[in-house]
């Protein structure tokens, strides 16, 4: 009798580029297909995945298969390890075996941007994502629906795909403000939100990261937190974003006058974390802060 192996929450999908669409100066949408992408779980919100990108001089990328794929990949010589980067799913169409991923184009020095600028139909890579056959929590979704509190969703261009996915799944009676800082005014994309959720796009142009986002989030928090809301300033453990990962997400959202979800450049997010928790006194269990990347540093695998 053959033993049936348990299904893991995540699996490696071998995928092919079906379409590439330039959305704006800073965003490109890549549509992937694959023989088993009908098994990709459509969890929505800010579902993370990983893409294995080609090595220099290659058009295709693969990953070891099986539950221990990561350990096997790590054991390979560095020159044989396809670089891995983390992204957010933008759309899933299991009936068509398709997954959309929106990629941010910034410079041309990293493997992800180089690949995004040059990829074309037929290119083959590996995608690590949730397996629909797994009966449980896949992980990789950090947004937590609050219990009726207004929402503050904010981030830079790297958070646009995640916030877009979150907004599309919000209930119709959701209330709140979305703040998005992008490089250029032409990067403003269509965003589907409930009637009670306002969207503020901010183009920073040649100014620094966070130059528009920080004051806009401070202002939005002031609007959403009613005068006299029961908050109390609380200490916030400092994080050295040059050596540590800024990633603080509550598993269960506490009752609070506001639920905040912020992601983007780690130094900017650390500043906003300090403002909302230490200065405005929001309960740390009602805020999610994620440093997606760090200015001047390459992404970790």
Please report the pLDDT score of residue 300 as a whole number.
46
Please report the pLDDT score of residue 252 as a whole number.
83
* The model's pTM: 0.91
Backbone phi, psi, residue 32, to 5°: -105, 150
Please report the pLDDT score of residue 246 as a whole number.
81
Task: Give the pLDDT mean for 104-124.
Answer: 87
Burial group, residue 299, by CB count within 10 angstroms (0-12, 13-18, 19+) = middle
% of the chain residues with pLDDT over 90? 70
Q: Is the pLDDT of residue 112 over 90?
A: no
Query: Is residue 21 very low, low, confident or very high in pLDDT (cuts 50, 70, 90)?
Result: very high
Q: Is the pLDDT of residue 97 over 70?
A: yes
Query: Is residue 124 very low, low, confident or very high in pLDDT (cuts 50, 70, 90)?
Result: very high
Query: Is residue 52 very low, low, confident or very high in pLDDT (cuts 50, 70, 90)?
Result: very high
- pLDDT tens track for 223-264: 998 665 555 556 666 655 455 578 889 888 888 899 999 999
Count the Cβ atoms, other than its own, within 10 Å of residue 229: 13
Please report the pLDDT score of residue 229 as a whole number.
53
- pLDDT tens track for 128-160: 999 999 999 999 999 997 678 999 999 999 999
Please report the pLDDT score of residue 298 as a whole number.
58
* Residues 6 or more apart in contact with residue 196 via CB below 8 angstroms: 173, 174, 175, 176
Length of the chain: 301
Q: Is the pLDDT of residue 1 over 90?
A: no
Cα 34 versus chain centre, distance: 22
């Amino acid at each position: 009798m053959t033993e049936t192996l348990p299904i893991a929450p995540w699996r490696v999908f071998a995928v092919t580029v079906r379409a590439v669409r330039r959305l704006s100066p800073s965003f490109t949408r890549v549509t992937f297909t694959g023989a088993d992408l009908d098994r990709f779980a459509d969890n929505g919100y800010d579902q993370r995945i990983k893409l294995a990108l080609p090595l220099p001089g290659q058009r295709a990328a693969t990953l070891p298969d099986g539950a221990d794929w990561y350990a096997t990949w790590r054991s390979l010589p560095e020159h044989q390890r396809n670089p891995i980067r983390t992204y957010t799913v933008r759309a899933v169409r299991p009936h068509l075996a398709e997954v959309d991923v929106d990629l941010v184009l910034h410079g041309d020095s990293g493997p992800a941007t180089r690949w995004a600028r040059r990829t074309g139909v037929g290119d083959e890579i590996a995608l690590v994502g949730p397996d629909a056959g797994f009966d449980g929590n896949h992980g990789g979704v950090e947004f937590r629906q609050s219990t009726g509190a207004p929402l503050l969703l904010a981030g830079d261009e790297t958070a646009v795909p995640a916030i877009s996915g979150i907004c599309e799944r919000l209930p119709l009676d959701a209330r709140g403000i979305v703040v998005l800082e992008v490089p250029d005014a032409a990067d403003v994309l269509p965003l589907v939100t409930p009637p009670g959720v306002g969207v503020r796009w901010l183009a920073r142009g040649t100014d620094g990261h966070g130059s528009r986002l920080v004051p806009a989030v401070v202002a939005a928090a002031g609007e959403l937190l009613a005068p006299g809301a029961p908050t109390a300033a609380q200490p916030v453990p400092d994080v050295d974003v040059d050596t540590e990962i800024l990633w603080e997400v509550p598993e269960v959202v506490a009752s609070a006058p506001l639920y905040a979800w912020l992601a983007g450049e780690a130094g900017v997010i650390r500043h906003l974390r300090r403002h909302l928790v230490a200065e405005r006194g929001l309960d740390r269990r009602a805020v999610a802060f994620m440093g997606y990347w760090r200015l001047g540093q390459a992404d970790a695998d």
